[in-house]
Amino acid sequence: MADPRGFLKHTERELPTRRPVELRLLDFKEVYNKFGSEALQTQASRCMDCGIPFCHNGCPLGNLIPEWNDLVYRGRWEDGIDRLHATNNFPEFTGRLCPAPCEASCVLGINQPAVTIKQVEVELIEKAFADDCGVAPVLPSELTGKTVAVIGSGPAGLAAAQQLTRAGHAVTVFERADRIGGLLRYGIPEFKMEKQIIDRRLAQMEAEGTVFRTGVNVGVDLTVDELRAQFDAVVLANGSTIGRDLPIPGRELNGIHQAMEFLPQANRVAVGDAVPGQITAAGKKVVIIGGGDTGADCLGTSLRQGAEIVHQFEIMPRPPAERAGSTPWPLYPLMYRVSSAHEEGGERVFSVNTEAFIGENGQVTGLKAHEVAMVNGRFEKVEGTDFELDCDLVLLAMGFVGPEREDLLDKLGAGYDPRGNIVRDGTFAAAGLPGVFVAGDAGRGQSLIVWAIAEGRSAAAAVDTYLTVGTELPAPIVPTQVAQR
């Protein structure tokens, strides 16, 4: 390391400040202020010469974190972005949106605040784009003549497409929405990642030769027979998009929506699109059921739309303020976290279960709920804790249960595991479907963006082997993390 005593000289973990709450609630711009290069280099210098860098293991991509921390500290920005891009196609996405399991497994984090790995990552790629250095299109040395269809343009599909294009294959990405980006485009609010961040990366991919086709529902607009006839291989990266429902009395009332009905509309309006009949929280009493990131996205969006009051329900108990004993280092810690949306307003309610919705004239007006306690691994009602809460908008943000099947997957002949995900083998190949591969949430189940990118890269390696070595040999079975190094 350039400064082996950096972590002793700089014991404070420093991050960029957030814009004042009263200002950021007026718009959908990103919440963080700029972070200076000098401060960033100081933070990078805290990366220890720790011998065994557990951050590699914490990162699904196997990012070479100590290497690019060292290069940033030395001011070797171009070399740093090369090392970062060696394992991660889209650090501008992960640097904003990843919960940073790498930081949770940082060796320094055992007895000091962990290195600000995520911030170094995002600042490194932002400087690369600002200086137009290290982000030029990467063109293949030769073309293979093989064609690949990627179904879905979320992070897994984009990563697979970029890797396969750079390998010399002719890649077409199909997206049923009107714009490329999938979850990144319409699921992530603008205040967490402005969409010009996606657009500039797509421009690079188009310059490399990747073809994007929007407004195409594969299985309907392009039949399975046509898909098979036109492409030598197919990558299914269509995500896990069926929202978990809450089938309780009153669910049929108007005003109860899945988060992914609400958030995409808000994202469209934030970039200037017209959305007739938009689901909006303006002036409403809102209850969000689900305490995770999607719930927090609904919270921040509802507050910006002018909700009267917002409650966010979580069935799990409130986590401890410090790392729970059940998740010791280097595991990702169970602990209480406050996102930017949570500090903006609303009330978080833990250990609560909603048992019924109530309404008038077909419109939800409230809900009935009670507290719960964990007993022998099951949630049990705490007697005497029943309560009612007024609400006229309910957003269900309880996660996702699998990919949609009818239009494409069932027609293709895909199989499903007990969790509803597409069955695949260790080479990311869909079971019983030669030439079809599965990447990201469609096969893994709901997971992190960083895992989606890792799976897209690994699936691309398997597809490349299938196309170049031949169908008579199986693609190599390579653990995802090792494959990225």
239-276 pLDDT, tens digit each: 999 999 999 999 999 999 999 999 999 999 999 999 99
pLDDT averaged over the chain?
94
Domains of the chain: 6-131 (1.10.1060.10), 147-241+401-483 (3.50.50.60), 256-396 (3.50.50.60)
What pLDDT was estimated at residue 437?
98
Residue pair 450/441 in contact by the 8 Å Cβ criterion: no
179 is written with which tokens? 């714009």
Whose CA is closest to 460, among 72, 25, 230, 168? 168
Question: What angle, 0 to 180 degrees and rounded to 10, lies between the N-to-C axes of helices 293-305 and 259-270?
Answer: 50
pTM for the structure as a whole: 0.94
Residue pair 394/255 in contact by the 8 Å Cβ criterion: yes
Q: Distances from the Cα of 65 to the Cαs of 41, 92, 198, 485, in angstroms?
A: 14, 15, 23, 11
127-182 pLDDT, tens digit each: 999 999 999 999 999 999 999 999 999 999 999 999 999 999 999 999 999 999 99
Counting residues of the chain whose pLDDT is more than 70, the rounded percentage is 96
Q: 360: which residues sit within 8 A by CB, 6+ positions away?
A: none
Question: What angle, 0 to 180 degrees and rounded to 10, lies between the N-to-C axes of helices 155-166 and 449-469?
Answer: 30
**What is the dihedral sign for C-alpha 6, 12, 18, 19?**
negative
What pLDDT was estimated at residue 471?
52
What pLDDT was estimated at residue 4?
85
* Strands 170-175, 211-214: pairing kind: parallel
87-100 pLDDT, tens digit each: 999 999 999 999 99
What pLDDT was estimated at residue 1?
60
Cα–Cα distance measured from residue 295 to residue 438, given in angstroms and rounded to the nearest whole number: 27
Q: Rg (Cα) of the chain, in Å, rounded?
A: 23
Q: What angle do CA 142, 148, 153 make, to 5 degrees?
A: 115
Whose CA is closest to 393, among 367, 374, 412, 418? 367
Q: How confident is the prediction along the chain (485 residues), in pLDDT tens digits per residue?
A: 668 889 999 999 999 999 999 999 999 999 999 998 899 999 999 999 888 999 988 999 999 999 999 999 999 999 999 999 999 999 999 999 999 999 999 999 999 999 999 999 999 999 999 999 999 999 999 999 999 999 999 999 999 999 999 999 999 999 999 999 999 999 999 999 999 999 999 999 999 999 999 999 999 999 999 999 999 999 999 999 999 999 999 999 999 999 999 999 999 999 999 999 999 999 999 999 999 999 999 999 999 999 999 999 999 999 999 999 999 999 999 999 999 999 999 999 999 999 999 999 999 999 999 999 999 989 999 999 999 999 999 999 999 999 999 999 999 999 999 999 999 999 999 999 999 999 999 999 999 999 999 999 999 999 999 999 875 444 443 333 333 32
With the CA atoms of 188, 190, 196 and 199 taken in that order, what torsion angle do they form, in degrees rounded to the nearest 10? 20
